[in-house]
Amino acid sequence: MCGIVGCHHVPDAKAFKPTALKMVKQCRHRGPDWSGSYVANSTILAHERLSIVGVDSGAQPLTNKDETIALAVNGEIYNHRLIRKGLETPYHFKTHSDCEVIIPLYMKYGIDAPKHLDGMFSFVLYDKEQDRVIAARDPIGITSFYQGWSSKMPGAVFFASELKCLSAVCDKIQAFPPGHVYDSKTGEATRYFEPSWWDPANIPTKPVDLKEVRESLEKSVRKRLMAEVPYGVLLSGGLDSSLVAAIAQRETLRLKAAALAAAEQNRGTATPPTLDEDHGEGLVGIDDENKLSTLTYLPQLNSFSIGLPNAPDSKAAVEVAKFLGTKHHDMTFEIEDGLNALSDVIYHLETYDVTTIRASTPMFLLSRKIKAMGVKMVLSGEGSDEIFGGYLYFHAAPDKKAFHEETVRRVKALHMFDCLRANKSTSAWGLEARVPFLDKEFLEVCMNIDPQDKMITKEKIEKYILRQAFDTSDDPSAKPYLPKNILYRQKEQFSDGVGYGWIDALKDNAELHVTDEMMKNPKPEWGSDIPDTKEAYWYRTMFDEHFPPHCAESVIRWTPTWSKQTDPSGRAIAIHNQKYDEEKKE
C-alpha cells in the first residue's frame, strides 16, 4: 500500500504545498520507502511510497513524457503487463511500475480508464492541458480512499488515502465510493463498475460449477503473487485463509520447481536465468495468458497467525501449516498488549465500529511483527463470507431471495468493514494485504450462482459449495488441498478465533471506563448516532480524541441481519457449535 493526497483548485498551489505535504505525512506509515510531489496550476499531488513492483524505478507521482499528465496511485494493477503489450499507440514508459499504465489508458479512454484495470487501487490523475482531475477507486474498495471539501476554499476538492490526512483542512469528508470515477469537469463521481450481479433484485439461476469456482480462485491467487519483495500469507486456521495459503503454497512450489528445472537445463549456457537458489530470489512476470511465469519467493512460503495462548484459530493454523509445509510463525499476544494498542488501532482504522475494532487489534499487532521480519506483502482471506453467506446469521435467511440480497449488500459494504480492517491494520506498519476472494472475475463467477446452492441447511454447513470445490476426497489420485476437518470447520469470526478471552476483556474494560450515567448522557454532537453498549461508547470516545466531530460521518456500524442479538460476535449466535460457556469454565 501507498499513501496519496490530491488537492485541486486550491487558491495558491505553491503557497498551499507545505500544507499538502503535512497532509500526506499523516499517512507516511502506508508508504515508508519514499516521498514525492507534483505541483501545476492549482493542483498538488503528493505520494508516500511502499515499493512492491518496479522497486528500482517506480517513485511517484508518475508523469508522461512531457509531464502534462501526473498520477498518484495507491494499489496494484495485476494486468499491467497485458495492458502494456496491448497498447495500440506507442507510449514512452519511464518506469517498471505496474501503476504507470493508468496514464496511457487515460490518454485513450478518458474517464473510462478504470474499467480496463484489474487490481486494487485508488488514484488521482491530473491533466495539465485540460486543468482536469480524475480520481477513481477499485470496484470493491480494497484500498481506502476519501474525498473532502473546505468551506474556506469554495471550489477546491481534496482526496486522500486516509481520513486523518483531510481532517484538519476539510470540514466535509466522505468515503470515496468504490467502483466510481470522479471528473472535475462535472464535479461528480459516476459508477464505472457495473457487473451483472450489482442489482440485488436480479436473483441468479445458474447452478454452481465447482470446477469453475476452484479454478477462478486459483487464478486469482496466482495474480496476486506479483511481487519483487518477500511476501507471505495470513493464516488464521479458518477455511478462507487456509484455502488461500494452500493455493499459494502449490503455486510457489510449482514455480520454484520450474525455475530450478530451467536453471538446470540452461546450466553452462551463456545466458542462464537469474535465480538465486540459496536465497530464493527471482523476478515476477506475467505471460500472455495472464499466468505467472516466475516468482519472487522465500525458501519456503511464510505463513503467519496470531492469538491469545491456546486460541482455537492458532491451533488450527498450526495444523494447516504443517499439512501444507509452510514456514509458519505462530505469534501470541497478551490481553494487555491488545488493550494498550486500542487507541492506536482506532487512530489507524478511523472508525468506532465494534466488530472492526475487535478483529483489527490482533491483526494490527501481527502486522507489526510481520513487517519486522522484512515481509512487505501478505495474502489474506477477506470477502468470502460476504460472497457465500458465511456468517453464522445467514442460517436464519428466510429464503434464497433474501439470502442473495444480503450477500450483495455485504459485498457492497466491504469497504467500510473487512476491507477497511485488512487495509488499514496492515498499512499502519507499511505492509500490504491482497485479497484474492475479491477478484473481479471470481466475483462474477460466484455472485451469479443460484443462491439456493449457497443456502445453509442441516446437511450443508455455511460456505458448503466453496468447501466442496476444494474437496478432492472422491479422487484417490488427487492431492488434498486441506485436511478434511479444516475444510469443514465452522466459521469463527477473527475476533472470536484469536481467543474468547479477548472480547470478554474488552467488555470488562469498557465497564471500567464508561459509567451508567455516561450511557444515559451521550455527547450532544453525536446526534442520533448513539452507542448502544459501553464497549461501543468507549470506542467512540477514543475516536473523538483523534478526530473532529465531522469525521464521524464516514463511519458505519456492522450489525447482523435476521438476528436480535446485541453483540455482533459470531459466538453469540445459538447455531455456533463451540460451547462458549463451557470453555469459560475451563
pLDDT in tens, 102-132: 999 999 999 999 999 999 999 999 999 999 9
Q: Is position 381 annotated in a ligand binding site?
A: yes
- Three-state SS for 482-548 is CCHHHHCCCCCCHHHHCCHHHHHHHHHHHHHHCCHHHHHCCCHHHCCCCCCCHHHHHHHHHHHHHCC
Q: The dihedral of CA 362, 365, 370, 376: what is its sign?
A: positive
| Amino acid at residue number 421 | R
Residues 6+ apart with CB under 8 A from 373: 302, 329
Does 98 carry a binding-site annotation? yes
Annotated ligand binding at 427? The verdict is no
Domains identified in the chain and CATH numbers: 3-191 (3.60.20.10), 210-265+280-502 (3.40.50.620)
C-alpha 385, offset from chain centre: 14
Residue among 34, 10, 12 nearest 24 (CA): 34
Nearest to 316 by CA among 328, 334, 299: 328
Cα separation, 470 vs 250, whole angstroms: 13
Asked about 2 being catalytic, the answer comes back as yes
Instruction: Find the angle CA(241)-CA(243)-CA(248) to the nearest 5 degrees.
Output: 95
Cα–Cα nearest to 120, from 144, 104, 147: 144
Specify the pTM: 0.92
Instruction: From 105, 107, 130, 109, select the one nearest 119 (Cα to Cα).
Output: 105
Say which DSSP state 399 is in: S
Cβ atoms of residues 422 and 380 within 8 Å: yes
Residue written as cell 476437518? 485
> Would you say 234 is a known binding-site residue?
yes
Secondary structure, 3-state, 10-79: CCCHHHHHHHHHHHHHCCHHHCCCEEEEEEECCEEEEEEECCCCCCCCCCCCEECCCCCEEEEEEEEECC
In whole angstroms, what is the distance from residue 166 CA to residue 172 CA? 9
In whole angstroms, give the CA distance from residue 82 to residue 289.
9
Amino acid at 326: T
Residue spans of the chain under pLDDT 50: 271-288, 290-298, 579-586
Helix, strand or coil for residue 6? strand
Mean of per-residue pLDDT scores for the chain = 90
pLDDT of 247: 98
Which of 2, 7, 27, 446 is labelled catalytic? 2
Q: Which pLDDT does position 228 carry in this prediction?
A: 82
Round to whole Å and give the CA distance between 140 and 382.
Answer: 12
Task: Supply the pLDDT for residue 57.
Answer: 64
The pLDDT value recorded for residue 494 is 56
In the prediction, which pLDDT does 580 show? 38
